[in-house]
Amino acid sequence: MQHKAHRASNITLNQDVEYLNRLLDKVLRHEGGEELLETVKHFRTLSKAIRAENQASNFTTFNQEINKLDSSLREKVIRAFSVNLQLYNIAEQNYRSRRRREYQMQDDSIIQSRSLEHGVNQLFENNISIEQVEKVLGDLSLELVITAHPTEATRRSMLRIHQRIADLLKDWEFSYLRYDKKVIQEMIENEITILWQTAEIREKKPSVMKEVSNGLYFFDKVLFNVLPQLHQDLEDLLEEKYSHRFQVPAFLRFGSWIGGDRDGNPNVKAKTTFNTLKEHRNLVLSKYMESIDSLKEKLSQSNKKVAVSDKLVESIANDQKELKYNGWHKIDEVYRVKLGLILRRLKLTAQDTKGGYSDAHALKDDLLLIQDSLTIHHPAQNPIKLLRHVIRQVEIFGFHLATLDIRNHSGEHENTIAEILRQVGIAPDYKALDETDKTATLIKVLEDPRPLISIYDEFSKESQEMIETFRTIKQVKDTFGERAIEVYLISMTTAVSDILEVLVLAKEVGLYRVYPDGKVRSRLHVAPLLETIDDLKFGPEMIKQLFSIPLYRKHLEARGDLQEIMLGYSDSSKDGGNVTANWELYKTQDEIHLIASSYGVKLKYFHGRGGSLGRGGGPLYSSLLSQPPITHGDGVKITEQGEVLSSRYLLSDIAYRSLEQATSTLLTSVAGIPQSEVQEEMPTKQEREAMTFISEAALKKYQDLVFGDKDFLTYFNQGTPLNELGALNIGSRPMKRKGSDRFEDLRAIPWVFAWTQSRQLLPAWYAAGTGLQAYLDQTDDLALLQDMYQHWPFFQAIINNLQMALTKTDLEIASNYTKMIKDDTISERIFGQIKKEHKLTKDIVLSISQQSELMDHQPNIKESVRLRNPLVDPLNIIQVQLINQLRAIDDEAAASDLLEDVLLTINGIAAGMRNTG
């Protein structure tokens, strides 16, 4: 049965792709005539032939024919392949939605893997008792944090068109009348035409507030309804299976960095942060008004027909008296009266005037009054789910919508503290102190309740902005609630003083205070961000030093004995390679967990993952599974950024599926249900030692190339579109931290983005083969690695991500990029190393996974890559030709036209590769 459903889905996927291609061809004919249509068809056919026949002569012909295109036709060809890939993405998303529906249409003996139902069934089948389920629900915590990291190349205007086409494609599938299908087809064709006629390239970088607006779009259109629905479905499934009503807490929330992330972004100011939270509040209040309006339409019961609670009647009378408003014209329709009064209070809240709600708890209390009253006359076995849905929305989103994290670089805090301490005469040169003296100085300042600064003090522009940021955090918490901002993240945390400096700044604005009796009040979590390999290795020792400071322990007690720690996947991978970064991240979590447990401190790990494989990307559930088993009960936060937002959260069905996979995985993991058939403790000492050996060998190989080869940066800068990426205007933040050409100052996003564009994907796999082979050369124990792959989710994730990266890598296409490098000896030598390492890695990964081809374990993804390649290849070939021309001319006007075409190819390749940055 499952096999048939799976096969049917594949058929319909291909049908959707062909259907959309036919409509695109009609648009191409209209926009560019037969010349454009026939040219695009010719290159599609030629590109497929190159893949099928793998002959160098075909490739040469392809290159030559593309080179003959005049500039006008070339631009249209680029756009045609780009739109083709966008439509393929839409068809693929529709396929995923269809697959979910097909499972739901089957009887309950056929359940989709990692669905909510699958997770609940696993609890029941593993004899997890009601009491244990209650504890598991209490321990569940997953927060997903959207960021403005610039990896989404597609404009929001185009994403909205994608959403409309996806909705229409779904409507077309469910339409059975010929006329309806005809009308829907016309609408899809119109949307593709609009997509074609919409400018793909941003003319300027988005402002931070524009990025805020872009992020809020996902809350407005999808998350505001999907999150409460998922909570409700879990509650219902548990009740159905256990015949017990569980109260599922709001365990799944979304946060944001947009408008709060200052690290390297000079455009984020204190005022920006406050305005961001205002936008959050405005949206969530407007969404509540929509929800209450829907409830008011539904709850038309009359107290002439049913009995209602005295408390509800009393609250209505009090509200009418205070607000001088009746709420509804028919006084017998008491629920509508109360909901009308709720709407009036929400409007007053939005206007920040008297009569509004003091906080979201007051709104929830009003809704609970209605719910309690309904229980008097409405069947208990069939509750009004819309009301429960709205109550859940209030629990999840409050009046702040999404918690905003604040982040800045440790060096910025140190500069401000140094200036303050110099002005008040405590430390003439704080930065010159060693770590012991810095820590002692900061503790002394924290223990003294007297402030160091006043509103009249004058500081440098940078320090003043830092102080204003902390004042704004306090203002935000006072205005929008404690949950509006909960944590302050410190980039490049290397020492205890980096954390104490933030506490001192918090103290100076009233967010932190030591009372005469020694008690501490603290309103802000302070979280170190461990980014480089060295920082990860030192992290456990630093946390131990921090927890041994009595004053800091009091801060933690004030914060519920909870410490948040962020782990950086991007910079650690850039610093030490993918395999080493992941192993150091794993070990660091393990070690810090044991330290925290010894101090009675709970942890929340914040995983700074990117969308790409080179930055910790992959499915949410896989990210959760790959963490150390000992940490599964700890709270989890994960960044969701760039193109991941649109791929996961643009469509409700896809968003639900991604989130239910994560929830099901987390549910069973926290319950202690093994994620594989092998029951032994994992990893064993032998497996840890193997992984350490592999990591050390891989690190040496990686750093020998990236840091040890004097020509490597030349190869990277000249052989990828790195320098052209800056003109793409996909984010408000600069590509480099300090505007220098040093490798250390290059951000991880353009580092990964450039390698992906050139089809080498080096950060995602390079050096892994050497590490694995070194272990085999030492031990000849392939069986151990195969066993690790079978039962250790962490190692399985590494191998499977390598499979994905190696599959998406195409060194035949990449060889074109090496021709952009001026020195042939450099390109041949380094590219030769890359080819050799690619083959080694591929061979050993296949041996470990015991597969004949890469991605045999996920045939759908394998097929997706195969079908996309012929559409992406022409864009790569054109991109190389254009960059060569662009870098050779001095004519500014001609360069501008060429650059725009280059940017179009970047957008198209990004659409084809999906996880770009």
- Report the alpha-carbon distance of residue 514 to residue 531 in Å, rounded: 31
pLDDT at 766: 96
List of residues 6+ apart from 140 with CB closer than 8 A: 249, 251, 252, 666, 667, 670
Angle at 678 between CA 677 and CA 679, to 5 degrees: 110
- CATH code: domain 282-397 is 1.20.1440.90
Cα 16 versus chain centre, distance: 28
3-state SS class at 350: helix
Round to the nearest angstrom and report the end-to-end CA distance of the chain. 38
Query: In Å, what is the CA distance from 803 to each residue of 153, 545, 591, 672, 755?
Result: 25, 40, 29, 28, 17
* CB count in 10 Å sphere of residue 179: 8
Tell me how crowded residue 124 is: count the other CB atoms within 10 A of its CB: 12
pLDDT score for 831: 97
Structure-token pair, residue 186: 């016309």
Query: 710 in helix, strand or coil?
Result: coil
- What's the half-sphere exposure (Cβ side, CA atoms, 13 Å) at 710? 1
- Of the candidates 249, 205, 211, 208, the residue with the CA atom closest to the CA atom of residue 231: 249
| Contact predicate 399/480, CB 8 Å | yes
The domain locations on the chain are 282-397, 405-670, 685-913
CB burial of 35-52 (b: ≥16 within 10 Å; e: otherwise) equals: ebbebbeebbebbeebee
In whole angstroms, give the CA distance from residue 667 to residue 248. Answer: 12
Q: Is 63 exposed, middle or buried (0-12, 13-18, 19+ CB in 10 A)?
A: middle
Angstrom distance (rounded) from CA 529 to CA 531: 6
DSSP 436-461: HHHHHHHHHHHH--S-S--TT----H
The one-letter amino acid code at 197 reads Q
287, 574, 632, 701: the active-site residue: 574
Quote the CA–CA distance of 2 and 16 in Å, as a whole number.
21
- Residue 173: predicted pLDDT: 81
The two structure tokens encoding residue 161 = 């068109």
**Cα-only R_g, the chain:** 29
Q: Which residues of 240-275 are buried (b: 16+ CB within 10 A; e: fewer)?
A: eebeeebebebbbbbbbbbbbbbbbbeebbbebbbe
Three-state secondary structure call for residue 148: coil
Helix (H) or strand (E) holding 235: helix 224-242
Distances (CA, A) of 314 to 296, 299, 623: 19, 19, 50
Distance CA 397, CA 286 (A): 12
Show Cβ contacts of residue 540 under 8 Å, excluding neighbours closer than 6 positions: 588, 591, 592, 595
Tracing tokens 């760039």 back to the chain, one arrives at: 642
- Which H or E run contains 911? helix 892-913
Which residues of the chain are under the pLDDT cut of 70? 1-11, 54-57, 104-109, 149-154, 610-619, 642, 675-681, 729-741, 745, 915-917
Dump pLDDT digits (tens) for 153-210: 567 788 889 889 989 988 888 888 889 989 999 999 999 999 999 888 777 778 899 8
Looking at residue 204, its pLDDT comes to: 77
Range 405-670: architecture per CATH: Alpha-Beta Barrel (3.20)
Distance CA(849)–CA(860), nearest Å, equals 17
| Phi, psi (degrees; rounded to nearest 5) at 746 | -75, 130
Q: Is 149 one of the annotated active-site residues of the chain?
A: yes
CA distances from 571 to 263, 343, 712, 760 (A): 13, 48, 18, 19
Q: Which residues pair with 256 in a beta bridge?
A: 146, 404
Residues 779, 785, 791: CA angle, nearest 5 degrees: 145
In this prediction, residue 6 carries a pLDDT of: 42
Are the CB atoms for 765 and 752 separated by under 8 Å? no
Burial class (CB within 10 angstroms; exposed 0-12, middle 13-18, buried 19+) of 323: middle
- Report which of 766, 758, 791 is spatially closest to residue 842, judged by C-alpha positions: 766
Give the pairing of strands 512-514 and 520-522.
Answer: antiparallel
Specify whether 607 is catalytic: no
Residues 6+ apart with CB under 8 A from 706: 577, 712, 743
Residue 145: strand pairing partners: 255, 639
User: How far, in Å, CA of 357 to CA of 221, rounded?
Assistant: 25
Contact predicate 319/355, CB 8 Å = no
Nearest to 804 by CA among 874, 758, 853, 847: 853
pLDDT of residue 616: 52
**Strand stretches in 92-175, DSSP E:** 142-147
Tally of CB atoms within 10 A around 593? 21
Q: Residue 493 CA to chain centroid, in angstroms?
A: 22
- The catalytically annotated residue of 149, 364, 602, 637 is 149
Residue 153: count of CB within 10 angstroms of its CB: 26
Task: State the sign of the Cα–Cα–Cα–Cα dihedral 495, 498, 503, 508.
Answer: positive
Q: Which residues pair with 396 in a beta bridge?
A: none
- Which residues touch 329 (CB under 8 Å, ≥6 apart)? none
- β-pair partners for 604: 564, 635
Give the predicted TM-score (pTM) of the model.
0.89
